[in-house]
Amino acid sequence: MKVLLDTCAFVWLCSNPDRFSSEARSVFNDNDPLDLYLSDASVFEIALKCSQGKMELPEPPREWIAHQLETWRIQSLEISHEVLFSSAELPWHHKDPFDRLIIATAKNFELPVMTSDRSFPLYEIKVIW
């Protein structure tokens, strides 16, 4: 199974997995191979929140994110021009630019998204939560 992690899902996986729903936890407990992905939009969002004092991590974001990607074997997905254009062309159910980039990435790569955000299903993508 391939899964794109929303920013919160990534942070919770790395620091507080008890926040996951039973459905989300079952993805990690399943015996099938699991390929996890993280959009560079999430990396940018975390870095910005840390620099603004809205989020604290045990290490600087640059080090913490790199360590977590390696630990959890999460693959990064770059923000391509196609994703940027697609995010601007999405209906305006959601105004958060980071979430719009994650949604466009999910559509572009045909990946389900692990997120607790209730507006994601409005974009006709598979949501795991």
8 Å CB contact between 108 and 80: yes
What percent of the chain has a predicted confidence (pLDDT) above 90?
95
Q: What is the pLDDT of residue 30?
A: 81
Q: Is the pLDDT at 4 greater than 90, yes or no?
A: yes
What percent of the chain has a predicted confidence (pLDDT) above 70?
100
The residue behind tokens 């936890």 is 25
CB-based contacts of 60: which residues, under 8 Å, 6+ apart? 50
Reported as a single tens digit per residue, the pLDDT across 17-47 is 999 999 999 998 887 899 999 999 999 999 9
Indicate yes or no: pTM above 0.85.
yes
Q: What is the largest CA-CA distance in the chain?
A: 39
* Amino acid identity, position 68: Q
Question: What CATH number did the domain enclosing 32 receive?
Answer: 3.40.50.1010
Domain span at 14: 2-128
Tell me how far apart the alpha carbons of residues 75 and 34 are, in angstroms, rounded to a whole number: 11
Mean pLDDT of all residues belonging to the chain: 96
Q: Is the pLDDT at 127 greater than 80, yes or no?
A: yes
- Number of independent structural domains in the chain: 1
User: Mean pLDDT throughout 51-60?
Assistant: 97
Q: What is the pLDDT of residue 32?
A: 83
User: Mean pLDDT throughout 51-69?
Assistant: 97
Closest CA to 25 of 35, 33, 37, 13: 13
Tell me how far apart the alpha carbons of residues 5 and 36 are, in angstroms, rounded to a whole number: 7
Q: What is the pLDDT of residue 22?
A: 93
CB atoms within 10 A of CB 52: 8
Structural Rg of the chain based on CA atoms: 14
Phi, psi of 128 (to 5 degrees): -110, 120
